Every structure is written in C-alpha cells, then in structure tokens.
Amino acid sequence: MTIIVTGGAGFIGSNFVFHMLNKYPDYRIICLDCLTYAGNLSTLEPVMDNPNFRFVKESITDRAAVEKLFEEEHPDMVVNFAAESHVDRSIENPQVFLDTNIIGTSVLMDACRKYGIKRYHQVSTDEVYGDLPLDRPDLFFTETTPIHTSSPYSSSKAGADLLVLAYHRTYGLPVTISRCSNNYGPYHFPEKLIPLMIINALHDKPLPVYGEGLNVRDWLYVEDHCKAIDLVIHNGRVGEVYNIGGHNEMRNIDIVKLICKELGKPESLITYVTDRKGHDMRYAIDPTKIHNELGWLPETMFADGIKKTIKWYLDNESWWEPIVSGEYQNYYEKMYANR
C-alpha cells in the first residue's frame, strides 16, 4: 500500500505520518508538502531515514509536480491534509485559502482520476457547518447539518468538500470526507489557541482572549483524530462524510485558566482583546455515525490530553523556540498590535 499524505509537515499531518508508519510497517508513506510557514521539516526528522518514507517538497496546486509524483509512486490512496488552516489569517488574506484549499484539492483529484486511485480522502472540519448558539446545548452537528460557513477559511474548506462530493457523483471517484472538531497535541503551530497560550504563559506574556472568552470548541486529542482517519480510509463507505469529535466542549476562557493553573502562572496574565470578526460561538460534533459504523471512540480525555500537551511543549522548546523567535514574531506583532 502506497499512500500520499499531503500537508504531512504540519500539525495533524505529521502526527498521522507517525501513526501510519508505526502501525503499518509494510506501507509506503509519501509526504507531499510545500513547507509554508506552517510546515516544519524538523518535525519529520525522526522518520526521514525510514526506507518506507519519502518527503517531497511541492505544492498541491502544482499540477505538473503532482502528476510527476503519481507517475513515480502509483499511490493507492491520497489523504489530503494540506491546507491553509488559520481562521485569523483567512480574515486578513482570503486568496491563498482559495488557491490551496479549493484549487489544490481539485488538482489532487484530477491526478487521482487520471492515474486511478483506490481512495481519495479529504480531511475537512466541523467549521463547514457554521456555529451553534450557546443557549442550545442540546444541538450538535451531524453529517446532514447544512453547510453554513462564517469565515473565508471555512468557506474554502466547504467549497473543497462540495467539489470532492461532485467528483464522486460525476466521475465516480472513490472519495471519503472526515469533518473533525478542534485538535490539540504535539506539533500544534503556536498561532493556535492552546500552544499560543502555553508559550505566552511560559514567557509571562499577556494571554490574548478574544471577546469575552465564552466561545465553545469541542477539543479532540490529535492521536484520536489520526486513528479515526485510519479507520475511515480502510473501512469507511465510499461517497460518505464522517464527523469526528469527542464531546469535549470547553469555553476558551476555561482552557486559558486551566493552562495558567497547570503552569503555576497568575490569571492576571489574561487580557481580553478585540473579538475575531464573524467569530463562531460554539462547535459541537455528534460522532454517532463513525462510532456505529466503524467502532471509533475517542480515547484521551481532555484533562489528560491537556497535561500531556503542556508537558510536550515544556520538553520540546527546541521545536517551538525557532518558530516563535523567527518570522512568526512579525505575524504576532501585526495580528495583536491593535487588538
């Protein structure tokens, strides 16, 4: 089995590469990643010398490069993680989100049509369903909840999902889609809530909470997401969407307070800043379908996962320090200067 994993130098993709190489020693895993600001080759260092692993630095939007890779490797599957993934960046500059997330997806699927594929899997997000009101804790996203996006990021992901389903119906491409809630864990880029708060707290810097911090996210430990995708690509039904989430809803402010407590830092570091434009209030996944059909259940409780994650950031400063001290610093100044 040969699998192209796009975006494998990013947060979830790299965790998925490790999971697959560990679990299937006879699989060949090809990581296709153009290394944007969010891609980090040092993350993949532990597997670079593995004979079953190959890294290819190309963009999923580059048709010629993608076709060349298909000709060389004859993949059985493509699992597409490659994306622009940060909502705040999409509000500043939507264009690259459309290029990568929509056009890139179509380029990959065109290659799958041209060369043949057993499975094309699209890694999508619960954000395509929009948000839920805070006063209706009884409501959850199911696979039939209408697409109703809020940000350029989620709109680009929704556009890609619709294209994937259209390629299935029109061309019979054997596709699956998974829509997951917020992930956390090792190798999470420090522009996202949890790693940003951990690293700021370690530096005794202000902890910028958007609005009142009451927005709710449904957090899933990244390994549980990888296991779910593994099940979907092997046993999921072609043409189907699977929601992935762990009923682990938390308010942002409670997460930030928990991080302060775990690190022994004062809550006085918390600073309320101008809210994100179009900020989604609550995400909450109903994972009944993947549980009933594929037997998936999350294994890591948030209380344990957040401790493991904080410990990972404490133990792996050499991974995040170059990010925080380099170009990302310019981004940080720009995004938070006038908030």
Backbone angles phi, psi at 272, to 5 degrees: -80, 125
Residue pair 168/295 in contact (Cβ under 8 Å)? The answer is no
Of 149, 155, 248, 252, which one interacts with ligand TDX (CB under 6 A)? 252
Computed on alpha carbons and rounded to an integer, the radius of gyration of the chain in Å comes to: 19
- Which residue in the block uniquely carries the two structure tokens 């956390």? 184
Question: 24 or 312: whose CB is closer to ligand TDX?
Answer: 312
Site for ligand TDX in 188-227 (CB under 6 A): 192-193, 196, 208-210, 215, 217
| Token pair of 144 as six digits | 């039939």
Site for ligand TDX in 262-321 (CB under 6 A): 276
Kindly name the residue from 33, 84, 120, 126 that is annotated as catalytic.
126
Of 3, 4, 5, 13, which one interacts with ligand NAD (CB under 6 A)? 13
Q: How far is residue 234 CA from its own chain's centroid? A: 20
The verdict on whether 67 is a catalytic residue reads no
**Maximum Cα interatomic distance, the chain, rounded to a whole number of Å:** 58
Question: 159 or 208: whose CB is closer to ligand TDX?
Answer: 208
Question: 4 or 270: whose CB is closer to ligand NAD?
Answer: 4
Question: 77 or 193: whose CB is closer to ligand TDX?
Answer: 193
CA nearest neighbour of 287 among 279, 277, 297, 278: 297
Q: How far is residue 321 CA from its own chain's centroid? A: 21
The verdict on whether 138 is a catalytic residue reads no
In sequence order, what are the residues at sequence separation of 6 or more whose Cβ sits closer than 8 angstroms to the Cβ of residue 140?
A: 132, 284, 285, 286
Residues in the chain: 339
HSE (side-chain half, CA atoms, 13 Å) at 327: 4
Of 78, 102, 112, 123, which one interacts with ligand NAD (CB under 6 A)? 123
147 touching ligand NAD, by CB under 6 A? no
Contact positions vs ligand NAD (CB under 6 A): 6-7, 9-13, 33-36, 38-39, 59-61, 81-83, 85, 100, 104, 123, 125, 157, 180, 182-183, 189
Contact positions vs ligand TDX (CB under 6 A): 85-87, 125, 127, 182, 192-193, 196, 208-210, 215, 217, 252, 276
Q: Give the active site residues.
A: 126-127, 153
